[in-house]
Amino acid sequence: MNAVKNKVQLIGHLGQDPEIKVVADDKKVAHLNVATNETYRNAKGEKVTETQWHSVIAWAKLADIAEKFLVKGSEIVIEGKLVNRNYTDKQGIKRYVTEIQANELLILTKK
C-alpha cells in the first residue's frame, strides 16, 4: 500500500505549449498546464461541464518528451505525485504552490 499514498492520475488536454527550462546542473524541466473536464447534469437536468486546471512538472527524459512531442491541445495521461513548495516572489511575498510531479507520461493524441 505504500505505492498509493501519494499518487495522482489525470487524463486531460494541454492548455498551452509546454514551458521548457534548464535549471542548475543542466537539468531540464517542463511545466505543463493540463485541463480536465467533468460533465454532469444539474438539478434542472441541464448538462454542465466543469474544467479544472492542474500544474504539472516533468523532469529529465519526460521533459525531453514534452518538448519534442507535446503542443497546446495534446491529450495526455499523467501519473505522478503531489508536491508542495514555496518561494518568495519579487515583491518579497511568500507564495505556496501545489503541483503534480510527473513520473509517467502517455500521449493519446494521434499525429
> Which pLDDT does position 1 carry in this prediction?
60
Domain that residue 29 falls in: 2-107
The answer to whether residues 97 and 83 touch, using CB atoms and an 8 Å cutoff, is no
Number of domains in the chain: 1
Residue 26's pLDDT is: 86
- pLDDT for 3 equals 63
Amino acid sitting at position 51: T
Per-residue pLDDT of the chain (111 residues; tens, 9 = 90+): 666 689 999 999 999 999 999 998 889 999 999 999 999 999 999 999 999 999 999 999 999 999 999 999 999 999 999 999 999 999 999 999 999 999 999 999 876
64 φ, ψ to 5°? Answer: -60, -45
* Residue (of 13, 7, 1, 29) closest to 80 by Cα position: 7
CA 78 to each of CA 52, 58, 62, 81, 102: distance values in angstroms, whole numbers, following the listed order: 15, 10, 11, 10, 6
With vertex at residue 88, the alpha carbon angle to CA 84 and CA 94, rounded to the nearest 5 degrees, is 70
Query: How high is the pLDDT of residue 83?
Result: 96
Q: Which helix (H) or strand (E) segment is 67 a member of? A: helix 60-69
Assign residue 75 the CATH number of its domain: 2.40.50.140
Q: Can you tell me the distance from the alpha carbon of 59 to that of 64, in angstroms, rounded to the nearest whole number?
A: 8
